[in-house]
């Protein structure tokens, strides 16, 4: 019996001097949920410190720093989810991966686990909307609703007292 590998598995080359292959596995739905909850928690922490959030280009640097901290604080747990690396291998992994390679790994995770499903869900929504068109509810004009009980006066305004 032959095993069929998931076509969503990606391989990224990493290494400072000599390159090795790192398999990047897609996240399960439960792992995506955990990641989403972690991300939500971090955003809430950021907004608690900066309630107005990033308002302009100058505010984006602290926000980006906050996101980098999120990734940095949780990268080992994320790598355990998406790779076969374990604690003993992770120590040497960080000594042998460049920033560019790490950004490729992060991009692969985002594309595979968040961007692609989002596109699929948008396509699903469009298909469902075509199969089951919803009629827009329109409010009737007020003249159609007036049954003679309207309290609106049609008399001229009285003159204003001085």
Token representation of residue 90: 């992770």
Token representation of residue 18: 């000599």
Averaged confidence pLDDT in the chain: 78
Mean pLDDT of 103-110: 86
Mean pLDDT of 35-43: 78
Give the span between the Cα atoms of 134 and 131, in whole angstroms: 9
Q: Cα dist. 136→7, 108, 133, 155, 156 in Å?
A: 41, 40, 9, 37, 38
Choose the weakest-confidence range: 22-31, 85-94, 98-107, 138-147. 138-147
0.85 cut: is pTM over it? no
pLDDT at 148: 56
Residue 13 host element (H or E): strand 10-14
pLDDT at 41: 79
Give the pLDDT band of residue 66 (cuts 50, 70, 90): confident
Q: Where are the domains of the chain?
A: 10-131
Give the span between the Cα atoms of 127 and 120, in whole angstroms: 11
The length of the chain in residues reads: 162
Helices (H), 83-157: 87-95, 99-110, 116-131, 142-145
Please check the confidence at residue 162 and state whether its pLDDT lies above 80: no
Give the pLDDT band of residue 142 (cuts 50, 70, 90): low
Cα dihedral across residues 57, 42, 114, 102: positive or negative: positive
pLDDT at 10: 92
Please check the confidence at residue 121 and state whether its pLDDT lies above 70: yes
């Amino acid at each position: 019996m032959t095993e069929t590998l998931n076509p969503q598995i990606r391989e990224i080359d990493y290494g400072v001097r000599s390159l090795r292959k790192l398999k990047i596995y897609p996240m399960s739905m439960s792992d995506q949920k955990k990641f989403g909850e972690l991300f939500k928690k971090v955003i809430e922490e950021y907004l608690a410190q900066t309630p107005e959030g990033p308002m302009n280009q100058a505010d984006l640097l602290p926000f980006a720093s906050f996101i980098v901290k999120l990734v940095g604080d949780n990268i080992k747990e994320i790598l355990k989810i998406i790779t076969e690396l374990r604690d003993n291998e992770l120590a040497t992994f960080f000594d042998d991966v460049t920033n560019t390679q790490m950004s490729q790994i992060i991009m692969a995770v985002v594309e595979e686990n968040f961007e692609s499903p989002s596109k699929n869900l948008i396509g699903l929504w469009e298909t469902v909307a075509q199969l089951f068109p919803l009629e827009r509810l329109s409010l009737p004009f007020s003249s159609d609703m007036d049954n003679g009980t309207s309290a609106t006066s049609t008399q001229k305004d009285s003159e204003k007292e001085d």
